[in-house]
Amino acid sequence: MTNTTFADLGVAEPLCRALAAQNYVNPTPIQAQSIPALLEGRDLLGLAQTGTGKTAAFALPILQQLAATNEKREPKCARALILAPTRELALQISKSFETYGKHYKLRQAVIFGGVNQFRQVRSMAGGVDILVATPGRLLDLMNQKHIELRRTSILVLDEADRMLDMGFVRDVKKIIAALPRKRQSLLFSATMPKSIEHLAAEILTDPARVEVTPEVVTVDKIDQRVMHVDGKRKRELLAKLLDDTDLSRVIVFTRTKHCANRVSEQLDKSGVPSEAIHGNKSQGARQRALDNFRNGKARVLVATDIAARGIDVTGITHVINYELPNEPESYVHRIGRTARAGKSGIAVSFCDNAERAHLKSIEKLTKRPLTVVDTTEWLGEQIVVPAGEPVAPKRNGRGGGPRNGGGGNRNQPGKQRRFGGKPNAGNRGQRNAKKGEQPQSRRQSAGA
């Protein structure tokens, strides 16, 4: 598709002009496959990883169709509705519609929770062409009679799997029930569990199916590594990894809001500028955190899974899973924050004894083992464990491993490069050697 242009797909000239201003010349695979079908008015089921360009894949046809029909707006109504799981993703989608549709006189609004509803109610008073919303706040305003969906002819469910993971399934179904039966419906998802299959069957009619997700569901350009570490030493390990300045823009993921706050506070105390972002933060605080991360004031963003999708920050060099997610699909979305727009990236996961099962589930989903990294350089001990096999690490780093050092175990580490991509020259082991000390390299195996 490298020689295909947006004009070749039938995209109108005003949209092509807006795309050219953003240096978007050639469509991505999901755009090339989706746009013609959507311009024909077909329903669509799109399966694609984050960062593949799916927002433009649905935004361009929607803008073109709304501009072509040019129907009169009605108070409190929206002609097109895009549902997104998080406020960050909703804002990002809204910004994309604004960028692509700058040569059209279409009105849009974005609705999400965590802020006062006054401005959102006012923005809907005269009606809009495009409404981007999170399910909870939208349903709330519908119940208050501030929003009506009787004139909505286009529905998009973006990141549908994440929407269901966050518990929005009932809200989504109530919203869909309020829509006209005759409409164009689009569903985009990064994964295809049974729940999404059932939802797609309910809301889509003879859909075109576009799938650009390969059998390996993680981005190929992401170097994925795991470090087996005692849970009590994760803070120490994180601090030592961040000594490497090549980790210049990093997202650290935790499972809980409390842990995110604690890790961010500790990084600040150690001289590493960071911000925390999670569901308990107000919208203003979350936006300030993202702005500081984007402009470089914060080197590290510590986040719960609410930030795994919808955060559009360029140049993220590393993703660190401080805690492995309970759901393996969340791992895919987390690490998808790096290696965007064709660039490479590194994802490092910390794994303690209690997280062995999570690691095994991740490797089953991604169909590849994560590369095990020797922790000797950072912690003075190394723990090598086949994924899913429990072990109780000894603090002195000793253990009875195989005499041949593992005999080619699939997770056996070879010579590792620094996480910034530099060789080991100047690393901690060699600095100790200069002092006459030998870095520890004993391996501990399952059953030790």
Q: What is the mean pLDDT of residues 416-429?
A: 44
Range with lowest mean pLDDT among 105-119, 144-158, 281-295:
281-295
Write down the H helix ranges in 49-181: 54-69, 87-100, 118-124, 135-143, 160-165, 169-177
| Residue 221 burial (CB count, 10 A) | 12
Average of pLDDT values for 280-302? 88
Phi, psi of 151 (to 5 degrees): -110, 10
Helix 234-241 and helix 257-269, axial crossing angle in degrees, nearest 10: 50
Quickly state the pLDDT bin for 285 (edges 50, 70, 90). Answer: confident
Q: Give the pLDDT band (50/70/90) at residue 82.
A: very high
| pLDDT over 90, % of the chain | 58
User: What pLDDT sits at residue 427?
Assistant: 39
Q: How far apart are CA 60 and CA 379, in angstroms?
A: 51
The two tokens of residue 173 are 């179904």
Residues 351-396: pLDDT tens digits? 999 999 999 999 988 888 999 998 888 887 665 554 444 444 444 4
**Using 50, 70 and 90 to split pLDDT, how confident is the model at 48?**
confident
Sheet of strand 78-83, all strands in order from the earlier edge strand to the far edge: 108-111, 128-133, 78-83, 154-157, 184-189, 44-47, 208-211
Cα 116 vs. chain centroid, distance in angstroms?
27
Q: Which CATH class is domain 7-211?
A: alpha beta
Rounded to whole angstroms, how far apart are CA atoms 221 and 345? 7
- Closest by Cα among 137, 358, 66, 10 to 349: 358
> Looking at residue 330, what is its pLDDT?
83
| Mean pLDDT score, 112-130 | 95
Q: How confident is the model at residue 328 (pLDDT cuts 50, 70, 90)?
A: confident
Between residues 221 and 59, which one has the greater pLDDT?
A: 59
Residue 7 DSSP symbol: G
**Per mean pLDDT, which of 37-41, 190-194, 324-328, 366-370 is the most reliable?**
37-41
Count CA within 13 A, CB hemisphere, residue 375.
28
pLDDT digit string (tens) for 240-268? 999 999 999 999 999 999 999 999 999 99
Equal fold, 7-211 vs 222-434: yes
At a CB cut-off of 8 Å and minimum separation 6, what does 414 contact? none
User: Given strand 300-303, what is the order of strands in its sheet?
Assistant: 274-277, 300-303, 250-253, 318-321, 345-351, 222-228, 371-372
> 199-246 pLDDT, tens per residue?
999 999 999 999 885 444 456 678 999 999 999 999 999 999 999 999
- Which two three-digit tokens encode residue 62? 């929607």
Six-digit token string for 383: 């723990």
Q: Is the pLDDT of residue 315 over 90?
A: no
**Cβ pair 333, 50 in contact under 8 A:** yes
Residue 51 has pLDDT above 80, yes or no: no
Model confidence, pTM: 0.64
447: left (phi over 0), alpha (psi -120 to 50) or beta: left
Fold classified for 222-434:
Rossmann fold (3.40.50)
Per-residue pLDDT reduced to its tens digit, 133-154? 999 999 999 999 999 999 999 9
Q: What is the pLDDT of residue 406?
A: 37
164, pLDDT greater than 90: no
| Residue-averaged pLDDT of the chain | 83
- DSSP per-residue letters across 257-323: HHHHHHHHHHHHHTT--EEEE-TTS-HHHHHHHHHHHHTTS-SEEEE-GGGSSS---TT--EEEESS
Predicted confidence at residue 418, as pLDDT, reads 58
pLDDT at 101: 97
pLDDT of residue 198: 92
326, 275 contact by CB (below 8 A): no
pLDDT mean over 176-184: 96
Instruction: Please compute the mean of the pLDDT values over residues 148-176 and round it to a whole number.
Output: 91
**What are the residue ranges spanned by the domains of the chain?**
7-211, 222-434
Percent of the chain residues past pLDDT 70, beyond the cut:
80
304 within 8 A of 254, measured Cβ to Cβ: yes
Residue 429 pLDDT exceeds 60: no
Predicted local distance difference test score (pLDDT) of residue 284: 78
pLDDT, tens digit, 9 for 90 and up, residues 392-422: 444 443 333 333 333 334 444 444 445 665 4
* Residues 6+ away with beta carbon under 8 Å from 194: none
Average pLDDT of span 302-325:
83
pLDDT band at 442 (very low <50, low <70, confident <90, very high): very low
* pLDDT for res 221: 77
Contacts 24+ apart (CB under 8 A), 51-55: 51/219, 51/336, 51/339, 51/340, 51/341, 52/28, 52/212, 53/27, 53/28, 54/30, 54/158, 54/188, 55/92, 55/93, 55/96, 55/158
